[in-house]
Structure 1
Amino acid sequence: MTDLKVGGVPEHFNYPWYVTLKNKEYTKENINLRWQDYPGGTGAMCKALRSGDVDIAIVLTEGIIKDIADGNPSKIVQTFVKTPLIWGIHVAAHSKFKKIKDLEHATIAISRFGSGSHLMAIVNAFNQGWNVENLRFKVIGNLQGGIDALTNGTADYFMWEHFTTKPLVDNGTFRRIDDCPTPWPCFVVAVRNEILENNFEEVKKVLDIINQQTTNFKDIPNIDEVLAERYEQQIEDIQKWLKITEWNDGKPITKNLITRIQNKMLRYNVIEKKKNSGEFIKNMYI
C-alpha cells in the first residue's frame, strides 16, 4: 500500500475528492490516500509542499506558478478546474467604502503573501489602474481571519471566492462591492518532485480516478442539494456555481498554457520575470 497525502481548501470545488475517498476508490488501487484540509489556502499548501507535509495539492494556478518560480520543488501535473475563479471583493457591512474606486488606498486583508487573496488583489489593482507599489496588506491567515480583520477594522477589504463568502454577505457580516474573475483556469494539481520520481504510476492512478469523478460530477442525483447542505449555501447559489464551473477532463497541462498564464501574470505585475514553462509542469500521459 502506497501512502500519499493530498491537500485542498475545504470548499465545494473539492467535493469530488470527498466522494472518491468515501467510496475507497484509491484503496482499490492499493493507494492509501489521506486528505488534509487547508483553510489557509494556496499559500499554506505551497508551504506544505515545500516541507513535505503534503504530497499532492489542489492549488490556485497563480499561487503555485509564483512559488515554483521561487523554488518550490514541485510540478503542475494538470488543471483541476479549468474555468476562472470568481473573487468577491468584500468590505465590512458597516464600512464607509461603497464603490471599488474608494478602495485605492485601503488596507487589504490577505491570507498570506503569495496566496490567491494576495495575488488577485494585485490583479484587481492593475485592472483599476492603481499603483501596485502603494498597496498595503494585512496578513490574516484564513477566512476567519478575514472576518475578524474587517469586523475590527484592522483591514478594509478582503478578496475571497464569491460563493464561499456568499453566506457572509447574506447574513450581513460582509458587503460585496464587486467581483474580480481570474484571467486563467483557477485550480491546478501540483505534486512534489520527489513523489513524481518515486510514485509516478500511483499519482497517475489518483488523477485517473479524480478525473473520472469530475467528468460525471454534475450528473450525480441531487448534487446541488448535497453541496448546499454540506457547505451551508443557498441552493440557488450552488446551482449558479455548478453552471459556471467546469473541471478538467483529463487533458494534460501544456507549456503553451503556462506561457500564456505567465505572460498575463507578468503584465499584471504578479511575477517579475518569466521562466521556461517546461520547468513548471510534468506530463503524466506521455
Structure 2
Amino acid sequence: MTDTTPPLRIGYVPEHFSTPLYFAQKHFGLQATLTPFPSGTGHMITALREGEIDVGIGLTEGWIAGLGKEDTPGDGGYRIVGTYVETPLCWAISTGAKRPEISSVSSLKGSKVGVSRIGSGSYVMSYVLADQEGWLASTSSADVGPYKDFVPLQTFDKLRAAVNTGEADFFMWEHFTSKRYYNSGEIRRVGEIYTPWPSWEIVASTNSTKLAKDDRLQDLFRKLDQGVKYFGEHQDEAVEYISTALDYSKEDATEWLKTVQFCTETSGVDIKVVNNCISILQKAGVLKEGKGLQATEMLVSGLGEQLP
C-alpha cells in the first residue's frame, strides 16, 4: 500500500468473533478503518452496494443469499473472497420472558419472526429452521408461508424488546451473545439450530477495486492470518478483551473459545461450501434454482478458491 492509497474500509459485527480482526490491527499493523455493524450482514450488504465500505466480514448464508436472489441488483456489488470461521454457528431461538404460549420450537409455526433485516442471516435461518421442521411442505401455497410475518428490527436490543412487547414472537441470534440475557431473565430460550456450513466469510466490493490484484486485500489476509494465530496463542488476552470491550462475561467468553475454529489461511473460498449453502437455501425457499448468481460467479478467480 502506498502513502496515497486509502486504507480499506472494513465492516464487521462487533461481537466476540471480531477478536482476531481486532488483534490484526492492534498487534500487526493492519491499516484499515473498522466500521461496526451491530445489525449484521444484511446492513453490510447495503453498505457495500452503496460504496460505504470495501470489505465485509459476516455470515455465510447472508452473503450467499444476497448474491443468489433473483432480484440481485447489477453485479451484486460484492464477491466472496475469503473464509473467516470454519465452525458452524449456533443460532439460539429466543422469545419473551413472559410468553408461556410459546413453549417449544413446534409452537413457532405461523408466528411473527423478528429479524435484523430482510435477507440477513437471522431472516435466512428462519427458513432453514422451517425446512428442518417440515413447515415448508405443509405451507406450499404461494400465498401461505411458514410464518405469519417478518418484523425487521435492525438491532439485537430491539429484537429482545420486541419479543417482550409482542411485536415479534421469536428471533434467532448467536448463542453466546444471547446467553447473558437468558441469565438475566430478559428473554427465554426456546431451542437452537446450527448452520449446516462454515459460519463466517469475507467479501469485497466490486465497485472500485480489482479484487484479485488489490494489495490492500492481500495485506488484510496476511494480517488477519496473523491475528488468528495470535488469538489461538493468547486466549487469556482474548477473554480479557471479549469480557471488557464486548458484551460477554469471562465465563461465556472462555466457554465460547472451546467451540470456535477460525480459518488459519483466510484468503480463498471452498466452492463446495458455497454450493452446499446454495442447495440448502434453495430447498428452504430462500433462493430459486437458476436465478441470481451461480456459485462460481460469487467468487473471484486468483484468490485461491478451491474449484472441483
| TM-score normalised to structure 2 length | 0.86
Residue of structure 2 aligned with 1:118, choices 123, 138, 141: 123
Spell out, residue by residue over 1:68-124, the C-alpha distance to the aligned partner (whole angstroms, 9 max, x if none).
222422110111111111100000111121111111121110111000110001111
Q: Which residue of 2 aligns with 1:204?
A: 218
**Separation in structure 2 between the aligned mates of residue 172 and residue 261 of structure 1, nearest angstrom:** 34
Whole-Å separation in 1 of the counterparts to 2:150 and 2:228:
36
CA distance in 1: counterparts of 2:241 and 2:22, whole angstroms: 12
1:186-229 deviations in whole A, cap 9, x for unaligned? Answer: 11000012344176122011111101211331221512233223
Q: Report SS of the residue matched to 2:210.
A: helix
- 1:146 is paired with a residue whose SS is helix
> AA paired with 2:276?
R
Which amino acid in the other structure matches residue 113 of structure 1? I
Could you tell me which of 168, 182, 191 is aligned with 1:178? 191
Taking the aligned partners of 1:273 and 1:63, their CA distance within structure 2 comes to: 17
Q: Summarize the alignment of residues 2-17 of structure 1 with structure 2, pairs less than 5 Å apart.
A: 2-3=5-6, 4-17=8-21
Whether 1:248 and 2:263 are equivalent positions in the alignment is: yes
If each structure's helix is expressed as a fraction of its own residues, which one has the higher value?
1
Equivalence for 1:30: none
**What do residues 143-176 of structure 1 show as CA deviations (whole Å, max 9, x unaligned)?**
1210221121111101111111111111111101
Ranges in structure 2 where 5+ consecutive residues have no aligned partner: 140-144
Cα displacement string for residues 17-71 of structure 1 (whole angstroms, at most 9, x for unaligned residues): 12222336124xxxxx100000111110000000010100001111111112224
Residue type of the alignment partner of 1:174: I
Match of 1:270 in 2: 286
Moved more, 181-190 or 207-216: 207-216
- Higher RCO (C-alpha 8 Å, min separation 6): 2
Identity over aligned pairs, percent: 28
Write the distance in 1 (CA, Å) between the matches of 2:209 and 2:270: 17
Query: How many residue pairs get matched?
Result: 281
Q: Which residue of 1 aligns with 2:303?
A: 284
Is residue 146 of structure 2 the alignment partner of residue 134 of structure 1? yes
Aligned-residue offset at 1:142: 1.1
| Whole-angstrom distance in 2 between the partners of 1:221 and 1:166 | 20
Structure 1 length-normalised TM: 0.92
Question: What root-mean-square deviation, in Å, do the aligned CA atoms of Structure 1 and Structure 2 show?
Answer: 1.8
* 1:80 match: 84
Point out where structure 1 has 5 or more consecutive residues left out of the alignment: 28-32
- Confirm or deny: 8 A CA contact 1:84 1:186 kept in the other structure: yes
Given that 1:196 and 1:203 are in contact with CA atoms closer than 8 Å, whether structure 2 keeps it comes out as: no
Match of 1:107 in 2: 112
Structure 1 counterpart of 2:298, one-letter code: F
**Partners in 1 of 2:216 and 2:246 — Cα distance?**
30
* Alignment check: 8 A CA contact 2:24 2:226 kept: no
CA distance in 2: counterparts of 1:248 and 1:155, whole angstroms: 35
Q: Distance in 2 between matches of 1:189 and 1:143?
A: 22
Summarize the Cα distance change of 1:214–1:269 in structure 2 as closer, same or farther, 3 Å threshold.
same
- How far residue 236 of structure 1 moved from its aligned partner, in angstroms, is 2.6
Task: Indicate conservation of the 8 Å contact 1:61/1:186, yes or no.
Answer: yes
**Partners of 1:82 and 1:246 within 8 A in 2:** yes
Question: C-alpha distance in 1, partners of 2:241/2:77?
Answer: 37
Q: Following TM superposition, by how much is the alpha carbon of 1:285 offset from its aligned partner in structure 2, in angstroms?
A: 4.1
How many Å separate the matches in 1 of 2:86 and 2:124?
Answer: 18
